[in-house]
Structure formats: structure tokens, C-alpha cells
Amino acid sequence: MCGIVGYNGSKKAVDILLDGLSKLEYRGYDSAGIAIRDNDIEVFKAKGKLSNLKEKIENKDLKGTCGIGHTRWATHGEPSEVNAHPHVSNDGNVTLVHNGIIENYQELILKLERHDYKLYSETDTEVLANIIDYYYKKYKMGPIDAINRTMVRVRGSYAIAVMFKEYPDEIWVARKDSPMIIGKNEDGTYLASDVPAILKYTKNVYYIDNLEAACLKKDKVIFYDLNGDEIQKELKEIKWDVSAAEKEGYEHFMIKEINEQPDVVKKTINSLVIDNKIDLSKTGLTVEEIKSFKQIYIVACGSAYHVGVCAQYILEDLTRVPVRVEIASEFRYRKPILDKKGLVIVISQSGETADSLAALREAKNQGVKTLGIINVVGSSIAREADHVLYTLAGPEIAVATTKAFSTQLIACYALAIEMGHVKRKINNKLYNNLINDLVKLPEQIEYILKNNTKNVQKISSKFSSIKDAFYIGRGLDYAISLEGSLKLKEVSYIHSEAYAAGELKHGTISLIEDGTLVIGIATQEEIFEKTISNLVEVKSRGAYVVVVAPEGVDVSKVANNTINVPITNKYFYPSLTVVPLQLIGYYITISKGLDVDKPRNLAKSVTVE
Ligand code: AGP
């Protein structure tokens, strides 16, 4: 889950590489490096954040107009300068940066040692550089042949950018399962793991597919298939604007993206509600297909999985179709028994999460229809799914997802309402009421941000030194408490658990003692009293109780603090209650002085298993 970038053109490469890497740091930030080609290839690496590398080269006059760069999230070999990328083959012939994991690298090391190669790092990537060099020297058929032979020989995931000593002014790239886009403008050609790295320079990009390679020259890009034959690619325009990848005056990307939710939720609703009707035509799903689904499987990871848990309640209620929600890393190896008349929905912000991609392929191998609910256009899952529903959150930079999560909820609501309607499980009156309530959500989220942020900030300031926290709720409130809990622990490093409120007394309530923070979400009318009595149980054992509840609902008898959200349809409360839960995670984290955008040990897109 690293970030790679490259430039070949008329401008000084060093500035473009460092700027690109700064936009990719959310993908990994334990070490970084660049290789610049002037007459010769010079490599500079540093442990730690990108600022350490910048410091190291600030007095160097690097004129080269061709170079590659990397920011790392360590998988093989600890974060260190030696293990940082770029890696160079034994005699300096091949210089390479890599995002992904080479699974059979141990076996390849033995092969290299049989041919007198010596390795200086613990990384699988250095092995890759030397294997390419091995084939380059053995067959003397040039870069594309060496790269293609390597792609056939290695197992795993990779996006690589390579510079060959004997091919000045050329950068070679190849990919399998790890993301890469290639850009072009009048100043040259660009490559990157993700859009924000090159958006400042060009919106014109090529999408390179799995097991394809390309040569980036100063004025053009040539693509090759695995046979080494040239293939044509269409230049596509990206719709995102540069500012989306900047902080725009906010202190952190996370709080900026939390505040972008009214806008992106509105955009996503407007793309799915046309003339007061749900329109899923962009997905390519026909009414007949939607009617035909007898079982729904939602497969995802992390927060996207939590969207799935919320969607299960709504989909089953409105469509009466059974829904199973699966953690992708378990689903892919569990040999799931899938109903051929089912629909597998894969939810992913990045569209590159390895486990979710593999789950999609598992479903396709079993001949089951697949729908991707995806935020990044042209990402692997988007390209491989039978149908795609794009969320319009724009680029999400903060590692902790917020706005993408909220747009994924909207996508699931729209799917549930439309499927319930075409299956005649909901009548026109309910259909119209649901749509009327749905289109009100953006202004209601705006209202919460305007009127609650200060209150939440005040409440959160009490908890910067806590060690544990619990989030509880029932039904959809339990589903959203899962996300609330993750939003706190992933950025604040405070241990937190989400629990179905009724489950506490079967064990975990023994952890509740004086001052234990318990955040209760209580929006679901039918089970409201039940949730309140569970909160009374923890309160009576000394818990400090914060309750998130609809306006006008009295929870004073149990709550030490109350956070109110506007009244909406029972199915849509996750879109409102998640906002104060995101803010709690944010404010507790910054009160601890932590880097909320780049939490330790995490990366935005998990492209390895
Ligand atoms: C959430 O804040 C995390 N970044 C993480 O749990 C994330 O949701 C998960 O890795 C899935 O990512 P995806 O949506 O890009 O597939």
C-alpha cells in the first residue's frame, strides 16, 4: 500500500515527484525515495515521513527531467533507509519502485543466488529489480521482453516503474492488481498510484490494465500486452478538480471531508434521483434483473463493510430479499455457497482493496452477478464488476473515510428503495415518502455540522486521556455504532468496541466501571425503550453516557451529554448519526495532538492481503 509516481518530460522531475508523493502519503509514510536521471541515475532515500527526504535533497541541484518516486508502507522488511525504494539491481542496470507484494520472492531469491546476485535489503522489491535485470541480460531482447518475462515468472500484486541504464529518457511501467494511472500533457508524461498525485498537471489519463506494460517517453506513451505487441489506449478526462486534493484552509483533510458531506451526498443523490424517481440506469442493471435477484451478498472491508451492515437492515426490510454481509478477507477463502440468482455487491471507496477485489472475482467465477459501489472511477473493482454504481465523493485523502462512507449509504438506500418498488414490496406512497426524506438529507447533515460541531468538540475534549470506549445501539443504531467505534480507534489509537446493546449483559458489561465512556445511539423508535434500558444498565455501573438521539426525544434520564440530530426516516438515521460520531473521532484525536490524516500503521487503500 505504497504510493508510486513518475515523470518524464521537459520540466525538472524532482519538484513534480516530491509534489506527487506529498499527495500520495496517505498510502504509506514510513519511508520515501526518488531516482532522478540526468546523465546518470541518482537515488535518494530517507526513513520516515516525506519531509525527511525533502530535507536530505534540499541543497542538491537535481536538473534531471526524468525520474520515479515512492512513499512506503512496509510489508517486507522494516521501515528503514535500506529497505526504502527505489531499489537498484546489483550492477545498477535496473532502478525500480514498486507498490504491491511479490508472493514467491523467497523462491526467486534462490534463483538469483544461483546466478550470483547479492541482495542488500529485506525487500521483495529488490528481488524484482534483479529478476528483471536477469531476464534483460539473459535474452538481450530489451526492456519489454525482460518485464514481460518477469510478469510471467512472479506471483503477487505489483505496480512498478522502472528505469533502465541503457534506455535514457524512458520510464517503463507494468501492473497487476495494484493501481496505476498514466497522465500526459504538453510538458511530458506522468504515472501515479492515484489521481491526486498528477491532477495538478493533467486531467488526461490512460488506464493501464492488468498484465499490461507501457513505455513513458517525453512526448508519448506506448502500451504493450504480455506478448510484447503494441496495444492502443484511449486518453480519458478525469472530472475531479485540483482543489479537491487540497486542504482549502481546513487544518486537516478529515475535517475538510467531513464538511464536504452535504455537498457530496447531494451530488450522489442527484445522480440517482431523477424527476423524483430512483434511476439506476447508469449501473446498467435492468428492471428485470433487479426483480430477479433472490439473494443479496454484500462484501467489503473496514468502513465499507459497516455500510453493508447498515444496508442489510434497509434492503431486507424494503425488498424482503435475504441479505448476507461478508467480510471480504473471510469471504474469499471460505468457498462461499452462492445462489446463482443472487447479486454480490462489493462496496469500496478506492476500488483497489485486494480482499474486496478477490471477493468480486470469486463471485464472478461462480457465475453470480456483481455490482460495485465504488468511488474511484476506473479503479480495478469498477472495471471488473458487471455493474458499477459510482458514488460522487470526489478524491478522499484522509485515511479515515468519512464522505465516501456517507455517499455509499446513499447508494444503498437508492438500491433498496428501487428494488423494493420494482419487486412491489413497497407501494407508491412509501416509495415517494422515502424519496422525499432522502433528498432532505444533505441539508440535515449541513444543519448538524452548523449546530452541533461546537457541542461535540466540547464533549470530546473530556476524553483525550481515556483508554477505552464503547459504542452501543440496536438495529441500524448498532450498525452505525460499528463505524463510530472504528472512526475513534483508527485515528486516536484509543481501544474502542461497538456492541449490540442487548448483547452487553452477556459478558462485556463486566468491563464497565466508573467513568467508562459509553456512546449510545438511539434513533430507532420500535426498539428505543430497549436501547435506553441498556444505557441505564451501563450508567448504573458508573459509565459516562453520551447519547446520540433525534431532536425532541428526551434521553436526559440516562445521558451525561446528548447530541441531537434532525428527525428523518428510520432507515436514513445512519446518514445523520455518523456525522457526530466522525466529529468525536476527529476532535478526540486532535486533542491528543496526533496526525489525524495519517494514523500510524494504516494506509488509505489496502492493496495487499
Ligand atoms: C476506514 O476509515 C478505513 N480507511 C478502512 O477501514 C477502509 O474502509 C477499508 O480499508 C476499505 O477500503 P475501501 O473502501 O477503499 O475498499
Instruction: Tell me what pLDDT residue 522 has.
Output: 98
Mean pLDDT within 303-319: 98
399 CB under 6 A from ligand 1? yes
pLDDT at 302 over 80: yes
Nearest CA owner, ligand 1 atom 4: 400
Confidence bin at 244 (pLDDT 50/70/90): low
Cα(546) to ligand 1 centroid in Å equals 26
pLDDT at 246 over 80: no
534 CB under 6 A from ligand 1? no
Tens digits of per-residue pLDDT, 402-461? 999 999 999 999 999 999 999 999 999 999 999 999 999 999 999 999 999 999 999 999
Instruction: Tell me what pLDDT residue 242 has.
Output: 64
Instruction: Tell me what pLDDT residue 576 has.
Output: 98
**C-alpha span between 38 and 136 (Å, rounded):** 22
304 CB under 6 A from ligand 1? yes
356 CB under 6 A from ligand 1? yes
Confidence bin at 478 (pLDDT 50/70/90): very high
Cα(429) to ligand 1 centroid in Å equals 36
Give me 431's grid cell.
416509495
- Which of 136, 103, 142, 120 is closest to 43 using CA atoms? 120
Mean pLDDT within 36-43: 94
Mean pLDDT within 391-409: 95
**C-alpha span between 257 and 264 (Å, rounded):** 9
Name the DSSP class of 576.
H
Instruction: Tell me what pLDDT residue 608 has.
Output: 78
Mean pLDDT score of the chain, rounded to an integer? Answer: 95
Instruction: Tell me what pLDDT residue 245 has.
Output: 65
Instruction: Tell me what pLDDT residue 239 has.
Output: 74
pLDDT at 368 over 90: yes
- Which of 602, 572, 596 is closest to 584 using CA atoms? 596
Percent of the chain with pLDDT over 70: 99
Instruction: Tell me what pLDDT residue 377 has.
Output: 85
- Indicate which atom in ligand 1 lies nearest the CA of residue 602: 4
Confidence bin at 129 (pLDDT 50/70/90): very high
Cα(605) to ligand 1 centroid in Å equals 7
Percent of the chain with pLDDT over 90: 89
Q: Ligand 1 test: best mutation among 331, 397, 401, 602, most atoms within 8 Å of CB?
A: 401
380 CB under 6 A from ligand 1? no
- Which of 414, 423, 389, 390 is closest to 277 using CA atoms? 414
Instruction: Tell me what pLDDT residue 585 has.
Output: 98
User: Active-site positions?
Assistant: 2, 604
544, 516 contact by CB (below 8 A): yes
CA dist list (Å): 58 to 3, 65, 200: 21, 17, 22
Mean pLDDT within 514-534: 97
Instruction: Tell me what pLDDT residue 243 has.
Output: 66
- Indicate which atom in ligand 1 lies nearest the CA of residue 404: 14
Nearest CA owner, ligand 1 atom 2: 400
Cα(69) to ligand 1 centroid in Å equals 24
Tens digits of per-residue pLDDT, 58-107? 999 999 999 999 999 888 888 899 999 999 999 999 999 999 999 999 99
481, 313 contact by CB (below 8 A): no
Mean pLDDT within 495-519: 97
Cis omega before residue 179 (within 30°)? Answer: no
- Indicate which atom in ligand 1 lies nearest the CA of residue 400: 2
pLDDT at 1 over 80: no
Grid cell 447498515 in the structure block, residue? 310
Quick one: angle between helices 50-57 and 13-24, nearest 10? 160
Give me 500's grid cell.
449490540
Nearest CA owner, ligand 1 atom 9: 302
**C-alpha span between 300 and 311 (Å, rounded):** 12
- 3-class DSSP state for residue 540? coil
Cα(65) to ligand 1 centroid in Å equals 35
- 3-class DSSP state for residue 369? strand
pLDDT at 49 over 90: no
605 CB under 6 A from ligand 1? yes
Cα(349) to ligand 1 centroid in Å equals 7
Beta bridge partners of 310: none
